[in-house]
Structure 1
Amino acid sequence: MLQFILRRIAISAVVLLLGSALMYFATINSGDPLQDLRETRAENRDQLIAARIENMNLDMPWWQRYLTWLGGASKCLVLQCDLGTSRDGANINTLLLSSAGASLRLVTLSVVLAIVIGVALGVLSAIRQYSGFDYAITFFAFLFFSLPVFWAAVLLKDFGAIRFNNWIADPALSTTAIAVVALVFALLVASVLGGDIRRQALTFLATAIVVFAAVFLFDQVGWWRQPALGLPLIVLGGLVALAFFLTLTVGLEQRRILYAGLATVATGVVAYFATGPLMQDPTWLRVIGLAALAAAVGAAIGWFFGGFEKRVAMVVCTGTALAFAFLVFMDQLLRNWNAFLQVAPRPISTIGDSRIPFERLEGNFYIFLYNWGVQLVLPTIVLTLISIAAYSRYTRASMLETINQDYIRTARSKGLSDRVVYSKHALRNALIPITTIVAFDFANLLGGAVITETVFGWKGLGDMFRTGLNFVDPGPVMAYYLVAGGAAVFMNMLADIAYAFLDPRIRR
């Protein structure tokens, strides 16, 4: 395995080297970097031209300039990058650090959400092949996959930012809008839960009534500007998380593990009151510490109540505890929404990757968190939807191919339940092709983020790449290539390691 990875690294290094030479040659021949200065009537025109020639080393032949850049970029192997300066004399290392931080924050979140949601939808779609849920997922997958990125970004910017900001000033929903939300949500829940026609009809009716009543109540009490989950919704969410983890592992029939999960939820209720003062204005260190404590308590409860299934009980209880802790955190975050609206009357800014400079922002931890992350919402949705479409289709195809294999039929003939067959046998093997898609998708999203960042005004890698290309400045373009190419190589290495983990035969 190590020899295989080293060989892949060597091949990838050669590909990166050849690609960098081609990128550099194409960039410097895309225009004249001195064109704007040749046309200016400034008195110091000659001095400006001389300064730019010095900054960009235009007095050297192109291959010598490329080798100079390559020598500086090779120092990144020892964490001492020297990527030169831009045409204006700005240090590209500094530009790259600020731009990469914004882009990677956006792309990483999009990839994680797309993997989790897309794989889950693909598995459910394969299990319920040719059902209404399968047809709906297939329709939306093809719809989102065919959407042009720029068009989807502009559309979401209009409805999700501009019109939302106007609506949030005095939020109110009409009865028709509430009914539409209830019907859509009920249709989604009924299709996911499945069952015969009678069961789906009852699920649809009950969900529609509950959602209509809840949204109507939220609208009447002004929940949109002063939201909160409250302990009842947190407990309900904890029970849903418990049912989810039980379904994935041992099922709802294992009473001992079920009781351990219920004990975890009860402990979470006690912790909700005990940690309330600590969560009023925490720090990231305190939040992470409390999350780790929740996981440790959940694992301890699972070990104590697990009996002969201690390992499974620890997984179920730890997952339930973390889900409960996340809901408690979200409750505190929502309670500070109105305070953030007072600081930033237009909360979702569509231009730039930050709303208010931190040095001029006053508020607690949650206000700063809103200010840091609120701009992530819309561009993340654009990139996530497009990736979800691909992940769901690939996962569905891989699952369908896997569940028709002989070893799956053997597992069923041995009396194993569908839950065990799908989660422990089929899913693990079906994920092997998906790891390749993940590796390439991360690099593709960096490319797609160029358009998304342009629409939403993010000063990330996309903006740096576009600016360098427009000004015929190879420095920023090559810095973008270094990050995108390096990310592609690194993600492919992770895919190779994931192959060995998912299928031990690959190690040999």
Structure 2
Amino acid sequence: MLTFLARRLIASFFIILGATFIAYILMSYAGDPLNAAYNIQDPTQRAQAIANLTRVLHLDVPPVARYFIWLKGIGGCFVGHCDFGQNVQLQSVGSNLGSALGNTLKLVTAATVVAIVIGVTVGVITALRQYSGLDYTVSFLTFLFFSLPVFWVGILLKEVIAIKYNDFLQGGAHYNWAIIIVVSLIIGFLAYSLVGGAPRRKLLIGAAAAVVAFALNWYMSATAWLLDPRLGIVVVGILALCIAYGMTALMAGTANRKALYSALTTAVLGIVLYQPLQYFFYNGMNFLKLLGLLVVAVIAAVVIGYLFGGDDRGLSARTAAFTAVLVGLVIFVDRLMRAWQTYSNDPAIGGRPLATTNPSTPNLDGDFWIQTLDTVTHLILPTLTLMLISLAGYSRYSRASMLEVLNQDYIRTARSKGLTERTVIVRHAFRNALIPLATVLALDVGALIGGAVLTETVFGWKAMGSLFQDGLTNYDPNPVMAFFLITALVAVVFNILADLAYAALDPRIRVGSA
């Protein structure tokens, strides 16, 4: 393993070195960074500006020598003294890079996680429901999103979702009957397509889902629930029990009573602690405390799984741990929703909570929950834009990979041995279907950072995209090279992680072997 990592790191070092050299030389000949200085009217100020830029950007030396001067500053990162140079405004690129990189990573991470979870889930479901109405509908939508330009999707989402939704909230958040009926029919169709079995059973489940969706939409409209949303202990309890049952069915099968009891006990513990946690949430909550609560919940769930024991204590513990994480997420979302009305009525928000520009709201005062809600509302649209574009790739790749695995001989052997369909799909097919997706993810992360340049421009985010765009506009090499270097490092790191994921997913692969 260590030998493999050493070889990959050495090879990656020389790849980045060659790539940055080519990019720097091309950037040096793309234009003159002194263009803005030439337009200064006062001769003395013009001469002074040209002299300062020439000295700071080392324009008095050839581009090749200039590259090695830049490389020397970057090399200082190994000893804790990074120097990315200065831009044409004589500002430190490193200081601008810190905040820009944080915003971009926040955006790209959110979009990647959501796209992977939804894309892989949709891809696997459509593979299991091949040639069904759901399969054709999802295929059409994924190809549609894949073909749309990212900037057009961003502008459309700003108009249709943000502006219209904010107007809807300011109008009282009351639905009309047409919307309620259409949404209910769509949910009923999805439920009909997702479940298996006889057509009558599918029709009954679809109709029940449509009726429940109609009742919920009517209630939300009648009570203006969207203006002050919250779940409450009853809904949280129902969701917690459903999560426990669903995680057991997915990971161990409901016939495994030890795993089922472990998950249900974890869910009940979350329900019992719901009210005490509300008091804890109101007293100086921060990210570290929240992370600590999550760690304690997972540890408690693992202990519960081991106490119930059974033939496979590890399986019971894993089922309980995943249940604890999801139940904790439901409680967290409920508490976040309770801050919605306060956040929406803040003078800085003005009753229009769904943000269309900037990564945060200026001059917004509030506690941890208000600030977190502000971050979430600003992430929704740009994350949705990037997610819709990359979702198509993940869903199609996962569908094709799952179909290929399901046709393998060992899957037929597993079924002939009498294994349940859940065991065949989850334990044998799904893991092997993820192997090609590791490659797709490694390539897609770099592409997402590139796509984020346009997305950040559309939504007015001051992040890596604006750093890169301003550098290109001003023929400023240092910001462009900072963007290029970070993108290259991310691509290299994720390619190494993809190689390690191969070994974790496929026991036939050994990264340390010859």
TM-score range for the pair, normalised by the shorter chain length? over 0.9
Q: 1:393-437 deviations in whole A, cap 9, x for unaligned?
A: 111111111121122222112111111111111111111111111
Give the 3 Å change call, closer, same or farther, for CA 506–374 of structure 1 in structure 2: same
Distance across 2 between alignment mates of 1:180 and 1:308: 48
Q: Is the 8 A contact 1:172 1:219 kept in 2?
A: yes
Change (3 A) 1:332 1:78: same
What residue in structure 2 maps to residue 96 of structure 1?
97
Q: Secondary structure at the match of 2:509?
A: helix
Residues 1:227 and 2:229 aligned together = yes
Quote the RMSD (CA, aligned, Å): 1.6
Question: Displacement of 1:237 after TM fit?
Answer: 1.4
- Structure 1 Cα separation of the partners of residues 369 and 17 of structure 2: 45
Measure, in 2, the Cα distance between the counterparts of 1:497 and 1:260: 32
TM alignment of 1:97-496, pairs within 5 A: 97-170=98-171, 171-281=173-283, 282-343=285-346, 344-345=349-350, 346-357=352-363, 361-496=364-499
What is the alpha-carbon distance in structure 1 between the residues aligned to residue 79 and residue 56 of structure 2? Answer: 25
Distance in 1 (CA, whole Å) between partners of 2:455 and 2:295 is 35
**Paired residue type of 1:376:** L
Q: 1:391 and 1:263, CA in 2 relative to 1: closer, same or farther beyond 3 A?
A: same
Check the 8 A contact 2:83/2:94 in 1, yes or no. yes
- Normalised TM-score (structure 2): 0.95
Identity among equivalent positions (%) equals: 41
Contact 1:229 1:331 in 2 (8 A): yes
Taking the aligned partners of 2:179 and 2:49, their CA distance within structure 1 comes to 60
Structure 1 residue 367 displacement after superposition: 0.8
Question: SS state of the match for residue 72, structure 1?
Answer: helix
Cα separation, 2, equivalents of 1:383 and 1:8: 30
**Which residue of structure 2 aligns with residue 63 of structure 1?**
64
C-alpha distance in 2, partners of 1:213/1:228? 17
CA distance in 1, matches of 2:240, 2:499: 36
C-alpha distance in 2, partners of 1:338/1:414? 56
2-side partners of 1:105 and 1:3: how far apart?
A: 33
DSSP 3-state at the match of 1:351:
coil
Segments of 5+ residues of structure 2 without an aligned counterpart are none
CA contact (8 A) 1:468 1:477 kept: yes
Aligned partners of 1:487 and 1:332: how far apart in 2? 34
Query: Contact 2:240 / 2:271 at 8 angstroms: preserved in 1?
Result: no
Cα separation, 1, equivalents of 2:491 and 2:214: 46
Contact 1:99-1:459 at 8 Å conserved across structures = yes
Give the Cα–Cα distance (whole angstroms) in 2 for the partners of residues 464 and 186 of structure 1.
46
Q: TM-score, normalised by structure 1?
A: 0.96
- Equivalent of 1:498 in 498, 501, 504: 501
In structure 2, the partner of 1:7 is 7
Q: Deviations over 1:146-198 (max 9, x none)?
A: 11111101101111222222222222211111111111122222212233321
In 2, distance between residues paired with 1:9 and 1:292? 32
Report the Cα distance in structure 2 between the residues aligned to 1:328 and 1:208, rounded to whole angstroms: 26
Q: Distance in 1 between matches of 2:11 and 2:311?
A: 49
**Is the CA contact 1:55–1:88 (under 8 Å) kept in the aligned structure 2?**
no
Q: Is the 8 A contact 1:454 1:462 kept in 2?
A: yes
> Post-superposition shift, 1:461?
0.6
What residue is the counterpart of 1:28 in the other structure?
A: 28
Tell me the distance in 2 between the aligned counterparts of 1:266 and 1:99.
43
Preserved contact between residue 280 and residue 332 of structure 1 (Cα < 8 Å): no
Query: Structure 1: how far apart are the matches of 2:397 and 2:236?
Result: 34
Maintained 8 Å contact 2:252/2:319: no
51-60 or 389-398: which moved more?
51-60
One-letter identity of the residue aligned with 2:136: Y
Structure 2 counterpart SS, 1:505: coil
In the TM superposition, residue 307 of structure 1 has moved relative to its aligned partner by 2.5
Structure 1 distance, partners of 2:243, 2:274, is 17
Alpha-carbon separation, structure 2, partners of 1:23 and 1:335 = 49
C-alpha distance after superposition, 1:193-214 (max 9, x if no partner): 2333212211121111111111
1:129-155 deviation per Cα after TM superposition (whole angstroms, max 9, x unaligned): 212222222112111111111110110
* Contact 1:379/1:456, CA 8 A, preserved across alignment: yes
Partners in 1 of 2:134 and 2:253 — Cα distance?
23
Match of 2:39 in 1: 39
